[in-house]
Amino acid sequence: MKKSVFSVLAAMAICFGANAQEIKEDFKPSELNQPGQEYPMVNSQGYARFRINAPGAAQVRVSLGLGGQGGTVLKHLGDGIWEGTTDGPMDEGFHYYHVFIDGGMFNDPGTNNYYGSTRWESGIEIPAHDRAFYEERNVPHGNVQQVLFWSKSTNQLRKAFVYTPAGYGDKKNQNVKYPVLYLQHGWGENEYAWHNQGHANLIMDNLIAEGKIKPFIIVMTYGMTNEVSRQEPNRRQIVAEQFEKVLVDELVPYVDANFRTIADKKHRAMAGLSMGGMETHAITLARPEVFGSYGLLSGGTYTVEELAGRKVDYIFLSTGEKESPAQINAAVDALKAAGYNAEAHVSPGTAHEFLTWRRALYTMAQSLFKK
Amino acid sequence: MKKSVFSVLAAMAICFGANAQEIKEDFKPSELNQPGQEYPMVNSQGYARFRINAPGAAQVRVSLGLGGQGGTVLKHLGDGIWEGTTDGPMDEGFHYYHVFIDGGMFNDPGTNNYYGSTRWESGIEIPAHDRAFYEERNVPHGNVQQVLFWSKSTNQLRKAFVYTPAGYGDKKNQNVKYPVLYLQHGWGENEYAWHNQGHANLIMDNLIAEGKIKPFIIVMTYGMTNEVSRQEPNRRQIVAEQFEKVLVDELVPYVDANFRTIADKKHRAMAGLSMGGMETHAITLARPEVFGSYGLLSGGTYTVEELAGRKVDYIFLSTGEKESPAQINAAVDALKAAGYNAEAHVSPGTAHEFLTWRRALYTMAQSLFKK
């Protein structure tokens, strides 16, 4: 980029006032890039830099960027290459985005794709200072198993992913049984979210390798039951009653029959992020005999009133610091005062995004199935 | 599309001469579309119709299409919508493609993505007349397990997918062991290809459900060992000796330790498509003690000379009818004449594409591990 430091500082000053800073030219390819792709890049301050090849385009814009200007407008450098850098550092962690080429919405050919907003989107990762807990290490790794199960209530073959911890397949462990966490994605996402962008499997592998938790199974399935309207893909409704049937009456028995689970309430938890939290709230209250532990990740709270008389082993409520920490902390205080084993978690410096939920899973996993 | 039948016929006549036909207006969304997406569409004759939203674009083109004109040029219908239909029927089966917007290469936002040509590409499916063998049915389904294994020789964590047949997790089968097929993708593809675009898992599920084969395990891993050059992503080399180490000395022992395999040569096969066939050829000849059965799918042949003195249980050579059937048939004739248990398969009407390999797997699977 040919911008002078002066013009960068001037732009920063307009957008951020006192936060203006010089952009460090230590950009590296985002870890989520497709093989061999240099761009997008990220620097040590959290700025993202994009390059798109579109020789005949009139306008190229990326949906990410601060300042409320609708993202980052790329400039033509020549030879068909468009480039732009976010007008400030991004939050640590994972961000969905897309590119507008002459008004049409496309993915950045540089990155891998992640399902969010009811479509496969581009993704970029701003390395978090505490990323070690979800990084790939040379430790024993569990498997993520794609399962296809027939759902009578929706008359369709449905998909789930089942994380089985390292050693699950070892001959010596063939009599070992495991607790199970049913873990739901958010609105517009699907059953790939928790292991693709959430790194749920790596979080578990690392926790188990460090001896911080005892191994358990995680089941991740698609949390929508209704047919997508081809006319109105964004107006899909959550039909929690239908999903309750799929999850509790079809998937739970399938998992208990095909995996070595401890098939009782005490060793079965449900949690979800955002819309998945709302589903968790509805389903755990509707079917108190099924799940012993509940987790709402940026997905609301439980009140003492709605839990009245119920035996719950553990309740986890979490949020990003930029979301609603006061509400979460107050709810957990009230639950504790009423005698519940409840825990609050606030992810520092993050909003309604996946780093918030990676940290939440890391924290929640250490308290699940302890009782 | 507002083209009159006359102009369509005229265009067809220019491109195909005697093959000119009226385009039937029975287009339906491709089965590989993202949820809720109408386009691309496919009609009963195999024509594909594309629609792209790009209000300010000057030119929109899709890489698929016949006639050697560099694909299908889309026309602006108004309101930012560009549309175009291939200038002839496509071959049955799966095709990779991409879209050029003002000279930049992007994916079609309508479709799911499939790794080919060293990038995640758009995919479209022309329903094959014999598609039943890889369709999703209400039969018991096996799992596709994502495995992360540490590779000492390349000093990295590598990924493999392991298909375990239905019933693998059943309590009553915990003493059952299975043969294993190691199955490689082609150049520019990766370890997702055989189950994403190849439907290897569904092919197996259906064969097993019909009682046509006894269950076996399939292992699919990434067949390249060298670092992708960020400067020259398309000049990656196949380093079969390095991949041989990863596959034979690292992955085979990992699979034998973590899955219930019959861990001997007779119950271990290797096969691959295209570049994966060349790898199979090199590795089976270099390590005759490891694999008992060999399959080259559009990936060359074995000669009697190079096999001399070797004990091989089964050799499968296949190709698309539009590739090199004469060469494959001649090679199998020679192998049979020399006393080998060899089989040829030619996929009717297809070229170097995935329907050829789906049919090859379906055929080969019925002869593997029989001896």
Q: Would an 8 Å CB–CB cutoff place A120 in contact with chain B?
A: yes
Could you tell me if A165 and A231 are in contact, meaning their C-beta atoms sit under 8 angstroms apart? no
CA-wise closest residue to A48 among A132, A125, A112: A125
Q: Tell me the CA distances in angstroms from B272 to A20, B22, B165, one per residue in order.
A: 55, 39, 20
The per-residue pLDDT for B299 is 96
Chain A residues with CB-CB distance to B55 below 8 A: 102-104
Q: Which two structure tokens, joined as six digits, stand for B365?
A: 């699977």
Could you tell me if B301 and B339 are in contact, meaning their C-beta atoms sit under 8 angstroms apart? no
Return residues 174-233 of B near A (CB < 8 Å).
174, 195, 201, 205, 228-230, 233
**CB pair distance less than 8 Å for A107 and B112:** no
The residues near B36 (Cβ < 8 Å, ≥ 6 apart) are A118, A228, A229, A230, A233
Could you tell me if A341 and A312 are in contact, meaning their C-beta atoms sit under 8 angstroms apart? yes
**CB pair distance less than 8 Å for B102 and A104:** no
Return residues 298-317 of B near A (CB < 8 Å).
none
Q: Tell me the CA distances in angstroms from A134 to A168, A198, A200, A276, A358, one per residue in order.
A: 20, 9, 8, 21, 8
Q: Would an 8 Å CB–CB cutoff place A37 in contact with chain B?
A: yes
Radius of gyration of chain B (CA): 22
CA-wise closest residue to A92 among A62, A129, A134: A129
Determine the Cα–Cα distance for residues A91 and B27; give it in Å rounded to an integer.
44
Confidence of residue A16 (pLDDT cuts 50, 70, 90): very low
Could you tell me if A111 and A34 are in contact, meaning their C-beta atoms sit under 8 angstroms apart? yes
Determine the Cα–Cα distance for residues A182 and A166; give it in Å rounded to an integer.
18
**CB pair distance less than 8 Å for A144 and B149:** no
Q: Which two structure tokens, joined as six digits, stand for B290?
A: 């490891």
C-alpha angle A364/A163/A224, rounded to 5°? 80
Q: Please return the burial class of A26, using the count of CB atoms within 10 Å of its CB with bins 0-12, 13-18 and 19+.
A: exposed
pLDDT at residue A134 greater than cutoff 50 = yes
**CB pair distance less than 8 Å for A148 and B162:** no
Three-class DSSP category at A364:
helix
The H-or-E segment that residue B296 falls in is strand B293-297
Q: Which two structure tokens, joined as six digits, stand for B176?
A: 């059952």
Torsion of CA A138, A142, A148, A154, to 10 degrees: -110
**CB pair distance less than 8 Å for A136 and B147:** no
Determine the Cα–Cα distance for residues A122 and B296; give it in Å rounded to an integer.
36
**CB pair distance less than 8 Å for B104 and A36:** no
pLDDT at residue A281 greater than cutoff 60 = yes
* Residues of chain B falling short of pLDDT 70: 1-20, 66-69, 225-239, 371
The per-residue pLDDT for B323 is 97
Return residues 42-101 of A near B (CB < 8 Å).
52-59, 80, 99, 101
The per-residue pLDDT for B17 is 41
Give B58→chain A minimum CA distance, Å: 7
Q: Would an 8 Å CB–CB cutoff place B327 in contact with chain A?
A: no
The residues near B336 (Cβ < 8 Å, ≥ 6 apart) are B342
Q: Would an 8 Å CB–CB cutoff place B326 in contact with chain A?
A: no
Could you tell me if B285 and B318 are in contact, meaning their C-beta atoms sit under 8 angstroms apart? no
**CB pair distance less than 8 Å for B228 and A104:** no
**CB pair distance less than 8 Å for A146 and B147:** no
- For the question of an ipTM over 0.95, the answer is no
Q: Would an 8 Å CB–CB cutoff place B104 in contact with chain A?
A: yes
Q: Tell me the CA distances in angstroms from A358 to A163, A195, A232, one per residue in order.
A: 15, 10, 31
Q: Which residue has the tokens 């991409």?
A: B98
pLDDT at residue A309 greater than cutoff 80 = yes
**CB pair distance less than 8 Å for A54 and B138:** no
**CB pair distance less than 8 Å for B102 and A170:** no
Give A32→chain B minimum CA distance, Å: 13
C-alpha of B219 from chain center: 14
Q: pLDDT by residue (tens digit) across A233-258?
A: 444 445 578 899 999 999 999 999 99
The per-residue pLDDT for B21 is 75
Chain B residues with CB-CB distance to A80 below 8 A: 103-104
CA-wise closest residue to B30 among B90, B75, B76: B90
Q: Which two structure tokens, joined as six digits, stand for B31?
A: 């089965």
Three-class DSSP category at A362:
helix
Give φ, ψ of A188 to 5 degrees: 80, -10
Q: Which of B55, B138, B195 sits opposite A104 (nearest CB)?
A: B55
Radius of gyration of chain A (CA): 22
Determine the Cα–Cα distance for residues A78 and A75; give it in Å rounded to an integer.
9
Confidence of residue A171 (pLDDT cuts 50, 70, 90): confident
What's the whole-number average pLDDT of chain A?
91
Q: Which two structure tokens, joined as six digits, stand for B29?
A: 């969304």
Number of neighbouring beta carbons within 10 Å of residue B289? 9
Q: Tell me the CA distances in angstroms from A323 to A280, A318, B269, one per residue in order.
A: 19, 10, 54
The per-residue pLDDT for B192 is 98
Chain B residues with CB-CB distance to A228 below 8 A: 35-36
Q: Would an 8 Å CB–CB cutoff place A103 in contact with chain B?
A: yes
Confidence of residue A70 (pLDDT cuts 50, 70, 90): confident
Could you tell me if A360 and A347 are in contact, meaning their C-beta atoms sit under 8 angstroms apart? yes
